[in-house]
Amino acid sequence: MTTTPPYLKKGDTIGLVCPAGYMPVEKIQTCISVLMEWGYRVKAGNTIGSQYNYFSGTDEQRLEDLQQMLDDDTVKAILCARGGYGVGRIIDCLNFKRFKKNPKWIIGFSDITVLHSHIYNRFKIASLHAPMAAAFNDEEYKNDYVQSLKQALEGKRSNYVCEINAYNKLGTAGGKLVGGNLSLISHLVGTPSDINTIDKILFIEDVGEYIYNTDRMLYQLKRSGKFDKLKGLIIGGFTEAKDTTIPFGKGIYEVIYDVVKDYNYPTCFQFPVGHCRENYALKVGVDYELKVGKKKVSLKEI
- CA pair distance 202, 198, nearest whole angstrom: 9
Active site (annotated) includes residue 56: no
Whole-number pLDDT of residue 56: 98
Catalytic residue among 116, 118, 129, 275: 275
Q: Which residues contact 82 (CB under 8 A, 6 or more apart)?
A: 18, 20, 21, 23, 108, 110, 132, 133, 134
298 catalytic, yes or no?
A: no
- Give the pLDDT confidence score for residue 89 in this predicted structure: 98
- The backbone torsions φ and ψ at residue 18, rounded to the nearest 5 degrees and listed phi first, read -125, 90
The yes-or-no answer on residue 275 being catalytic is yes
List Cβ neighbours of 28 (8 Å cut-off, separation of 6 or more). 16, 48, 49, 81, 133
Q: Is the full-model pTM beyond 0.75?
A: yes
Which listed residue (110, 117, 183, 193) is catalytic? 110
**Nearest of 45, 38, 96 to residue 75 by alpha carbon:** 45
Q: What pLDDT does residue 8 have?
A: 98
From first to last of its 302 residues, what are the pLDDT tens digits of the chain?
Answer: 999 999 999 999 999 999 999 999 999 999 999 999 999 999 999 999 999 999 999 999 999 999 999 999 999 999 999 999 999 999 999 999 999 999 999 999 999 999 999 999 999 999 999 999 999 999 999 999 999 999 999 999 999 999 999 999 999 999 999 999 999 999 999 999 999 999 999 999 999 999 999 999 999 999 999 999 999 999 999 999 999 999 999 999 999 999 999 999 999 999 999 999 999 999 999 999 999 999 999 999 99
Instruction: Output the pLDDT for position 35.
Output: 98
- Amino acid 45: pLDDT: 98
What is residue 283's predicted lDDT score, i.e. its pLDDT?
A: 98
**How much is the pLDDT for 67?**
98
Q: What angle do CA 130, 149, 169 make, to 5 degrees?
A: 60
- 8 Å CB contact between 19 and 90: yes
- Please identify which of the residues 116, 127, 205, 209 carries the catalytic annotation: 205
Please, what are the domains in the chain? 13-153 (3.40.50.10740), 159-301 (3.50.30.60)
